[in-house]
Amino acid sequence: MAKDTLDVTDGRTGARYELPIELGAIRAIDLRKIKASADDIGLRSYDPGLTNTASCKSAIGYVDGERGVLCYRGYAIEELAEKSDYLETAYLIVKGELPDAHHFAMWRHNITTHSMVHENIKKFMDGFRYDAHPMGMLVGTVGALSTFYPDAKNVLDLESRRLQTRRLIGKMPTLAAFAYRRSRGLPYVYPDNELSYTGNFLSMLFKMTELRYEPDPVLERAVDVLFILQAEHEQNCSTNAVRCVASARADPYSAVAAGVAALYGPLHGGANEAVIRMLEEIGTVARIPEYLKGCKTGERRLMGFGHRIYRNYDPRARIIKELAHRVFEVTGKNPLIDVALELERQALEDDYFVSRKLFPNLDFYSGVIYQALGMPLTMFPVLFAIARTAGWMAHWAELVRDPEQRIVRPRQIYVGEGARSYVPIEKRPEPVMREDAVSRTI
């Protein structure tokens, strides 16, 4: 008779074990029962990059990588991108349900009233070098917010969590825009709370001497859709970073600063910036075959391609590809789109990429839109961070409330030296440099 257990036999001892299967997983701690001897600490699972390890139970985002499905709280990303806006989607991600008109009006008011930042933040921004990357500025200033809101340490208090969530979703666009203005040597633009969330962000970025910035509605909607698409993606690297820091009961500003830092990496949120640099390096359609050859030899990566979960087309990339054409009707076509489209076509006909199930991810086309909107390359991951703040705050709250969660403290498999005694310096041989040694295989 079928039962929800994994029956294993330890070949070292012949002992048999029955491990319960719950929700398609076994508990790694159950492996500790499997011992080779009485003083054995028991088996561990070894999973570099956590490629097959569930670190939590979550109800926020759902990704089916084989089918190319993404849902936020059960709603398909395609529907949200078409029918919702970022603030409403952020409410859904954080609260778990779509708001009614009254609650949405309250949510929008509460976020909008938190768009200002302490005036001292400008001093932080001014302290960065003239050529500082905006993501570095964002890591620093988000972390600094923890010093302005010491009450945020009350992570077990629901009202405090709600207040910090409103503050961070409200302030991220302001910090991002301040970083941009600082990098361009332009005066800071204060929030205009009469504009939409995304319209206000564009105003803080691009307002010059005009009395009031009027966002182009097509571009405002395009950025809002990009924010929706980047708002949440279950246990991605940066969300995992937020959860890890939050597991120590650190305040949410410190945890989100860790998320921004992880998102900065070119294999994660920094990929959209890297895609444009790649497309500019390729330059013309004629040079694509040569470039792809380098990707297949491993000397470089096809940025914007591949995904840990999606073994099919990233549904977000499909939406962004269509969005690009609507933006180009207003901004004029970004010539790099032709290189990107042909690059995708050739890669998807090449067995190297097809056999590894490498498809365009959401970063492959987002940069082409951002560039057409006049955003500098270095701001691309910053826009990603603004959007992902909703997901990060939802995961932070879910972790804090989860009775099963404990401080993250993984184990390791030690492959270093055995015990050895101290030798006086005059008796030591020439040291063998280990820092460049490849880690020993187990």
Residues designated catalytic:
268, 307, 363
> What sign does the dihedral 52-55-58-60 (CA atoms) show?
negative
User: Segment contacting ligand SDX (CB under 6 A): 76-84, 135-143, 247-255, 359-367?
Assistant: 359-367
Q: If binding is defined by CB under 6 A, does position 307 make contact with ligand SDX?
A: yes
Nearest approach, Cβ of 11 to ligand SDX (angstroms)?
Answer: 29
What is the nearest approach in angstroms of ligand SDX to the Cβ of residue 231?
9
Give dist(CA 229, CA 322) in Å, integer: 13
Cα–Cα dist 225/221, whole Å: 6
Quick one: which of 141, 441, 426 has its CA closest to 261? 141
Binding positions for ligand SDX, 160-219, rule CB under 6 A: none
Q: What share of the chain is helix, strand, coil (3-state, %, to 5)?
A: 55, 5, 40
Give the nearer residue to ligand SDX in terms of CB position, either 164 or 239: 239
CA 151, CA 323: separation in Å to the nearest integer? 41
In Å, what is the CA distance from 11 to each residue of 5, 163, 335, 408?
19, 55, 61, 31
Q: Segment near ligand SDX (CB under 6 A), from 34-42, 165-173, 230-238, 419-427? A: 230-238
Give the nearer residue to ligand SDX in terms of CB position, either 195 or 274.
Answer: 274
Segment interacting with ligand SDX (CB under 6 A) among 33-41, 86-94, 206-214, 233-241: 233-241
- At closest approach, how far in Å is the CB of 355 from ligand SDX? 9
Contacts of 118 by beta carbon, 8 Å cutoff, 6+ apart: 148
Structure tokens that stand for 116 in this block: 């200002």
Binding-site string for ligand SDX from residue 130 to residue 169, where x marks contact by CB under 6 A and - marks none: ----------------------------------------
* Binders in 328-357 for ligand SDX, by CB under 6 A: 356
**311: contact with ligand SDX by CB under 6 A:** no
Return d(Cα 230, Cα 387) in angstroms, integer: 6
- Rule CB under 6 A: say whether 378 interacts with ligand SDX: no
Q: Applying CB under 6 A, does 271 fall inside the site for ligand SDX?
A: yes
Mark residue 187 as left, alpha or beta (left: phi above 0; alpha: psi -120 to 50; beta: remaining): beta
Residues that bind ligand SDX (CB under 6 A): 49, 233, 236-237, 267-268, 271, 295, 298, 301-308, 356, 358, 361-363
